[in-house]
A and B are shown apart, each in its own frame.
Chain A
Amino acid sequence: MTDASSASHSRRALIGWGGAGLALGAAAAGGTAAALTGTGDDARPAGDGGGAVPFHGAHQAGIATAVQDRLHFAAFDVTTDDRAELIDLLKEWTKAAARMTQGHAVGDGAVSDLVEAPPDDTGEALGLKPSRLTLTFGVGPTLFKNKKGKDRFGIAERRPEALIDLPVFPGDDLDAARSDGDLCVQACADDPQVAVHAIRNLARIGMGKVAVRWSQLGFGKTSSTTPDAQTPRNMMGFKDGTRNISGTDAAALAKHVWVGEKAGPAWLAGGSYLVARRIRMHIETWDRTSLKEQEDVFGRDKGEGAPYGKQHERDTPNLKAMLPDAHVRLAHPDSNGGIRILRRGYSFTDGTDGLGRLDAGLFFLAYQHDVREGFVPLQRRLARTDALNEYIQHVGSALFAIPPGVRDADDWWGRALFT
């Protein structure tokens, strides 16, 4: 990453990548932001992920985009009550996001002539490649009406019906300090420093208007949107999310992920809904569980990831061969009237807790066109009967509406909502 004003060698190199990404992005159906998907990048080593993902498009990048290796997700509280100030921030954020995703520093860069002032950019991404950074922006229910019932920005009537207050599910142990938020930004990149830099700089730009409510780092993708690539393993050592929606499957995306033109409200057409759940795993007890029970819990074998009674991971599962409370059986679209969601979660490990237990699990991220027909019925079923519940606990939760893509340089995050 470099200053725009002083293109260096590394930037010249990355412009090549960015250009390639653009070309592929344009070639992708419907102009989705899924640049580079055609290359099946999952098979490539992480160090090769230098390309820039186009920021502008019909949909926001970071959803259909081939899942990057690292995550920094942040939820913000809006601290100003001034609508104009919030709008100014969203414009400023959009500008900074566009620059960072293309591998540029924000503002006047990390080093300027004005030595008396702190630099605009914090600098830790200087010299790094864009690393397929995507920044995906969303708005939470409390932006429309805060917890005191106040419509601070005059948008209460624009709250989508589907942007519900998520119901409480059996077994939830939600920490308010790790839940909800007026706004969110999902930063995904192949280089963790690039993702952290992006959130850090957006948070800094936002000070006085927004404050970070909570944030989560993720280090290993647990799902892939590129079906011909390896399905990653979660912290329990299992392949999960084999039948995820592919980032290039325009029909499935249109049906299950993007909010349709007529679904309403108009400002959200082409957008999506994102459920974020921090799912803590009881790692130590899981590790001392017999292989037989582990495989029973998932309904897959651990080595290959094949469904019970099958040879290969992608063989069509015979759900009846699994125990009735097996995770795959309960979560499978065939058990849920064809419900599909686009999973984009990451493993996390925030060190250890006070008892020396690994504070680890799955930071579940799922995109869908309507949570009432996606995550909610699915989770209702899982929370009640999933055998996995003995080893996991949902400790954080949030729901966001994800506006459509930023069309061009004059467009900004949330424009349709505020105009």
Chain B
Amino acid sequence: MRAARTSLVAAISALTTVTAVAGCAEKSDAKDSDAVQVTASDSACKVSKTSFPAGHVKLAVENKGAKVTEVYVYAPGDRIVTERENIGPGTKAVINAEVKSGSYEIACKPGMKGHGIRQKVSATGKGAAAERDPRLDKAVAAYRAYAQKQADETLPKAQAFADAVKKDDLAAAKKAYAPSRVGWERTEPVAESFGDIDPKVDVREDGLEKGQKWTGWHRLEKSLWQTKKITKADHDLADQLIKDLKDWQKRVGTAEITPTSMANGAKELLDEVQTGKVTGEEERYSHTDLVDFEGNVEGARTSYQLLKPVAGKNDPALAKDLDKQFAAVEKQLDQYREGDGFVSYDTVSEGKRKELSDAVNALAEPLSKLAAAVVSK
């Protein structure tokens, strides 16, 4: 968790959704001539126009297929601008959105799954965003998929942790604790971009504001390792954790992710390691810091790998250095592997912690130049 939530991943997109129209509120003006007609079937997704003025956009959807469908509007990098689920066969729906000028994709997803059948559209108007390198759009989309996967895979692990807590099974809860955090640690900058979730699930006792109730992983960590007793209140905390994590899982798709926010997010993950993990502050009771450490590094490396086709071309020396320093940090971590996890961090001496810290510095310094290498031509 971060003390100050100033992530460069913007909190909530200015573009986000205005899906105020309820399912039953189909209006007769859905066929207004300025609406974009979207005709969905089980194998096609037709749009009446591929270009429309920026601002308020109305999509008039008709599902002519046999499957239940859903319709998404994606901004570059697969950021969800708006979506509507559960559009039954033979039914209509209206979707409203506010869009800035730029490129978008409208996707119909028959059966409500998968990548969808997509149509490229554009919103026209003043102040059009500069065309972005399509390789970077691809990187952002792949990163979003990665972040989503982390959230999706975290939920069952967190559920196993919560279940153990609720069964008062101290040993099983301790075992499930660190693995339940990995997906979160890998993509923390995205989670933090929502502002309200991080303080609920990942706050440490010293990070609480006055009057703030302490919830989340670290509160349970304290019960498991410090007081060594699971209380009734902990059962509720376990439920709350799952609820908050589901909220995170649902919102990953709407996070505004850009190539620079990916690059800076990678650097922020290393900042997390340097300020929280190397010092042993993050997991002060469980001493599972090295698990988080690895999660942070993996997340940073994923961002970097996805940006490398562009960054490596703009600044080959930087890419070479980053490859080397990522490998060096991983080599450092390898020393501490034990079973499918890591040794307890309280067994790592001051001198060895400095070696970890030096390796993190060696990686974080060039990593801080990644964003510039992504934007420069």
Contacts and interface: CB of A to CB of B under 8 A. Distances in A.
Is chain B found bound to chain A in the same assembly? yes
Interface of A: 77, 79, 114, 116-118, 177, 204, 207-209, 211
Contacts of A207: 361-362, 364-365
Interface stretch (B162-170, B280-288, B368-376): B368-376
A208 B362 contact: yes
B180 interface: no
A333 B263 CA distance: 61
Contact of B369 (A77, A117, A204): A117
Which applies to chain A's interface (DSSP): helix, strand, loop or mixed?
loop
A117 B365 contact: no
A208 B372 contact: no
Contact of B368 (A77, A118, A211): A118
A118 B366 CA distance: 10
Range of interface residues on B (Cβ < 8 Å): 20 to 34
A204 B365 contact: yes
A114 B365 contact: no
- Residue in B358, B366, B371, B376 whose Cβ sees the most chain A Cβ within 10 Å: B358
A118 B268 CA distance: 13
B41 interface: no
Contacts of A177: 350-351
Interface string B304-347: 00000000000000000100010000000000000000000000
Contacts of A204: 365
B376 A114 contact: yes
Given A208-B321, A208-B366, A117 B372 contact: yes
A212 B263 CA distance: 27
23 contacts: A77-B358, A79-B358, A114-B372, A116-B260, A116-B263, A116-B371, A116-B372, A116-B374, A117-B368, A117-B369, A117-B372, A118-B368, A118-B369, A177-B350, A204-B365, A207-B362, A208-B321, A208-B325, A208-B361, A208-B363, A208-B366, A211-B358, A211-B361
Contacts of A118: 368-369
A11 B83 CA distance: 58
- Residue in A79, A177, A209 whose Cβ sees the most chain B Cβ within 10 Å: A79
Given A116-B371, A117-B368, 19 more contacts: A79-B362, A116-B260, A116-B263, A116-B372, A116-B374, A116-B375, A118-B368, A177-B350, A207-B361, A207-B364, A207-B365, A208-B321, A208-B325, A208-B361, A208-B362, A208-B363, A208-B365, A211-B354, A211-B358
A318 to B, nearest CB: 50
A211 B325 CA distance: 14
Nearest to B325: A208
Contacts of B351: 177
Nearest to B260: A116
Nearest to A211: B358
Nearest to B368: A118
A244 B344 CA distance: 53
Nearest to A205: B365
Contacts of B363: 208
A77 B361 CA distance: 14
A118 B372 CA distance: 9
Nearest to B375: A116
Contacts of B374: 116
B357 to A, nearest CB: 8
Contacts of B350: 177
A26 B376 CA distance: 45
Contacts of A208: 321, 325, 361-363, 365-366
Contacts of A116: 260, 263, 371-372, 374-375
A177 B362 CA distance: 20
A116 B315 CA distance: 14
A211 B364 CA distance: 13
Contacts of A211: 354, 358, 361-362
B356 to A, nearest CB: 11
Contacts of A209: 362
A118 B271 CA distance: 14
Contacts of A77: 358
Contacts of B366: 208
A86 B260 CA distance: 31
Nearest to A212: B358
A419 B222 CA distance: 58
Nearest to A118: B368
A218 B260 CA distance: 41
- Residue in B361, B371, B375 whose Cβ sees the most chain A Cβ within 10 Å: B361
Nearest to B351: A177
Nearest to A115: B372
